[in-house]
Amino acid sequence: MVEITIRKRPRTEAVITQRKFFKKTARGKVVKVLRERYLRDDVACGIQGCRECSTEIPEPLPFSGSSEHQLYPNGHYLLPDTNVFLAQMDLIESSLFTPPIILLQTVIEEVRHRSLPLYNRLKALTKSEDKSIWIFYNEYRSETAIVREENEIPNDRNDRGIRVATAWYNTHISLTRPPIRGQKQTPHPTVVLMTEDAANREKAEKSGVTSSSVRKYVEGMKDANLLLDLLAADGSQEIEPTKAASGRQALYPDYLPISTLLAGVKAGELHQGHFNANQYNYLEGSVPVPAFDKPILLVGRENMNRAVQGDIVVVEVFPEKEWKAPADEVVDQEATLKNDDAEDSGEEGDENGEEVSVKESRVLSGSSSQKPPSERQPTGRVVGVVKRNWRAYVCHIDNTSLTSTLTTSLSTQTVFATPVSRLLPRIRLRTRQAPILLNQKILVTIDRWDATSRYPEGHFVRALGRVESKEAEQESLLLEFEVPYRPFGKAILDCLPPEGDQWVVPPKGEFDVQNIWREREDLRDVIVCSIDPPGCQDIDDALHAKLLPNGNIEAGVHIADVSHFVLPDNPMDSEAAARGTTVYLVDNRIDMLPSLLGTNLCSLRPFVERLAFSSIWELTPDAEIVSVRFTKSVIKSKAAFTYEEAQIRKDDPNLQDDLTNSIRLLNSLAIKLKAKRMAAGALNLASPEVKIHLDSAESSDPIDVEQKELRETNSLVEEFMLLANISVAKKIEESFPQTAVLRRHLPPPKTNFEKLQDILRKTKGLSLDVSSSGALAASLDICVDANEPAFNTLVRIMATRCMLSAEYFSSGSVAKNTFGHYGLASKIYTHFTSPIRRYADVLVHRQLSAAIGFTPLHATLHSKSHVERVLDVVNRRHRMAQMAGRASVEFYVGLALKARGEQAKVRGEADVKEEAFVIRTFRNGVGVFVSKLGIEGLVTFKRDTQFDAENYTITVPGAKKDVKISVFDKVIVRIEVEKDKNTQRGKVKMTLVEPVDSSAL
């Protein structure tokens, strides 16, 4: 019998082996947490060939470290502290920064505690193949584990732990490499503690530990000139302040302490919300808050107080007598600030700065003096920032801010980086590469915005490529809208079926080893077809319809069974949840799932057996639902049509086959379903959709652009997708009332429509009833102009912009009377029909599968808090994907217009001219909408005009007499694509041709 020895740990060791701390629960209760840690002496150092540690280590650190640094010719390893990762992640991630790094477990934990996004970047970095990083579990090695001393704060304890670990490594290396008799002793590599804390460096030096600041270390590297640009502006206490940052007075008021902000918000004296910049006027912003129907208006730099688009800010509202209305003038940041000096701006006695201040004061002084009191809205100022939305922004170097444009110049210059987005301020940065970076798109991160600086300060991250090159433009677009576009990693691809594209639905019976046919309905003989846009590869829905013996109709919607392949809580599921949606650009698609699934195994291709999730109804000929059932199934689509092909087939009287009759049957039902929706108050809104004609699939050069044509078959598919989504929503909410994944569209506040109602009343004598969705739908139907057929579509587009965005939510998180979808006039709604491209649909499939008893519901979908967290990400990704898609169309429309203009010049024709509608009037210009191209433009006038804000008109001098232009007027505009003098980027420029030529204005 084996003898077992039981050893009890002495009480004296408890101090080292136990960690005791207190934490506050969500309900405010304080609990004591006691954690036991088991100390060992075999935690590996990670260095290759170490005689004391395990030799079977995957990807160890090199035996001699790195000898490429000037200060450490005998080799070294780098051991950074927490703040280095928090402040200098762009540097650490750079492909030029390659020293072997020892990453302490305590550092990882602290980074995770301080910033989850940075923790995720750090985690990805540890798996990167071009980095040499070893994670050392210092809290579990007996020589490096430390105990918090009396009166020692957590930060000091962590710093001491990092110094102890660095000292141990140096000792460990010397002990494991003893001198060998008769051989010359080679110097050992050094472990260097990298920290920005001067006090920590001083303590390290006293205890014999080699340490360095980030800047000092980078200055000794081979590519120092390039790497120094990556340093965060506030990353080193050794950085000398620029002239602009020293010896000058504050331009902005200081923020209130966070405790004061939170107490003020709780008491209702202050208000919290997201800051939204004004794209037409950089001196205005707004913050929507629940306490007011209209957003709180922020006027002027001082009142916006360093807020950046998307920041969560706290606002103090002024007394009502100080409330203002938004300005009517287009105020362009580049034009107003063009003479400002990046080095001197904001310094006392700076003439340019004073000139800018005078200009801005002049704009603000007359901004709302003529506005009626009804247009005024709550006005206030930012008194604090709860959470910054700073990230890497796509920018261009402002060539007017350079002091030297010589490409050989390596001197540090302070320059302006102008973001692509008009919603962002210019960013001041210091770089040695300014001349090289001209005419390039670059990434810049904001590091700080001092009260004494007119502009935020940031640092260069990397160059994306030449301005106007399609590759750089596409990558910058993805980065601007935070679209994850990295390739799928090995862990994700390992979740795919091992058979790859050879995977097939197994035959029934003994060959079905995975039991795929269990409780699946065999619908392979049903006449199913799909109808999609041209070139669609990720076909996630198919339909069928047939007459029943009782005179009713069976109709089915069959959706790709993605949840069979994407299992809960595995790497592929986590990645899909993080991506949230597939992003469609004009010539590219960023998939949510690997292409093997999205365009192959899950795609309901014709003549191939595929797994599906089917929703099957029995309907009367009047489209009344008799019954509905849901089942997992196997289908075999008989055809994949485009909308145009399906339309032609439906309309051809010579075709009487089963497939064509199925399409006709579906269409007849769809017409009745739509009529019922409209009668219930559903809105028929509009958004500008255009089709870009590309030269070829290889070049993807746009050659022309036109409006998309919507056919009857578009509506056919839409109606059955809506029917499926509503039916599924009812089922999952009934089964899982606390965690059902639903989608809602809240009714818009009536104040959102006030301006549109006023414009229609004053310019066209029309009224818009917004008391309900039905009333709005009815009044939109009568907003017509007999002389202008496109007028009604324009009004619908403008009404769409007054709406709130639809959002996903968990059914247990909101009141049941807020479940409704305003636009669809449905009491309940979800998304079930596109699981290949939307993660919310994958969750709905899992819930429906559990609701019909096919599979048990995964534990995460029983957790309301988990569902809420996931849907927050999905909602954000969905919004960003929509904006990225629109921006892609806008960019390609610009390229197509440029191509069209060049072709016109070759043929000796005039410039490109198009009809447009005036949708907004300003004191110094008009906003126009070109419906044929689906784009908006701004026509500005430099000469004096007469502006009537109350009647939305502007009077401009014509050749013979003054011309009055009003909102909804049809005009003709000349469209050109010109290079922006500053950014060198192609920009669509519009000028009026009729009723007046604005080129002379």
At 233, list the tokens. Answer: 């502006």
> Do 235 and 228 meet the contact criterion of CB atoms below 8 Å apart?
no
Average predicted confidence (pLDDT) for the chain: 85
Q: Which domains does the chain have, with CATH numbers?
A: 76-178+187-236 (3.40.50.1010), 251-342+375-389 (2.40.50.690), 390-466 (2.40.50.700), 747-803 (no CATH), 910-994 (2.40.50.140)
617: part of which helix (H) or strand (E)? strand 609-619
669 pLDDT tier (thresholds 50, 70, 90) = very high
Angle made by CA atoms 245, 246, 250, in degrees to the nearest 5? 75
| 304-346 pLDDT, tens digit each | 999 999 999 999 999 999 998 888 888 777 766 766 767 665 5
Pairwise CA distance, residues 916 & 914, whole Å: 6
What end-to-end distance do the CA atoms of the chain give, in Å? Answer: 103
* Percent of the chain that is helix, strand, coil (3-state, to 5): 35, 25, 45
Question: Region 463-490: what's the mean pLDDT?
Answer: 86
What pLDDT was estimated at residue 444?
92
At 487, list the tokens. Answer: 């390739």
- Mean pLDDT is highest, among 367-371, 512-516, 665-669, for 665-669
In sign, the C-alpha dihedral spanning 235, 236, 237, 242 is negative
Pairwise CA distance, residues 445 & 87, whole Å: 11
**Closest to 69 measured CA to CA, from 102, 98, 101, 103:** 98
- Cα dihedral 73, 77, 83, 86, rounded to 10, equals 110
At 846, list the tokens. Answer: 């899992």
DSSP 821: B
At 957, list the tokens. Answer: 């001098």
Q: Would you list the DSSP string of 882-927?
A: HHHHHHHHHHHHHHHHHHHHHHHHHTT---EEEEEEEEEEETTEEE
| 798-824 pLDDT, tens digit each | 888 888 889 999 999 999 999 999 999
- Looking at the predicted structure, is the pLDDT value of residue 288 above 90? yes
At 177, list the tokens. Answer: 């490499």
Pairwise CA distance, residues 51 & 36, whole Å: 30
What pLDDT was estimated at residue 102?
94
The distance between the two most distant Cα atoms of the chain, rounded to a whole number of Å, is: 115
Supply the angle between the helices 643-651 and 712-735 in degrees, to the nearest 10: 110
Weakest mean pLDDT among 267-281, 397-411, 595-609: 397-411
At 202, list the tokens. Answer: 């001083």
- Looking at the predicted structure, is the pLDDT value of residue 575 above 80? yes
Report phi then psi at 309, rounded to 5: -40, 125
Helix (H, G, I), strand (E, B) or coil at 445: strand
Count CB-CB contacts under 10 A for residue 469. Answer: 13
| 3-33 pLDDT, tens digit each | 666 555 565 555 566 666 677 776 677 888 7
- Looking at the predicted structure, is the pLDDT value of residue 450 above 80? yes
- Looking at the predicted structure, is the pLDDT value of residue 672 above 90? yes
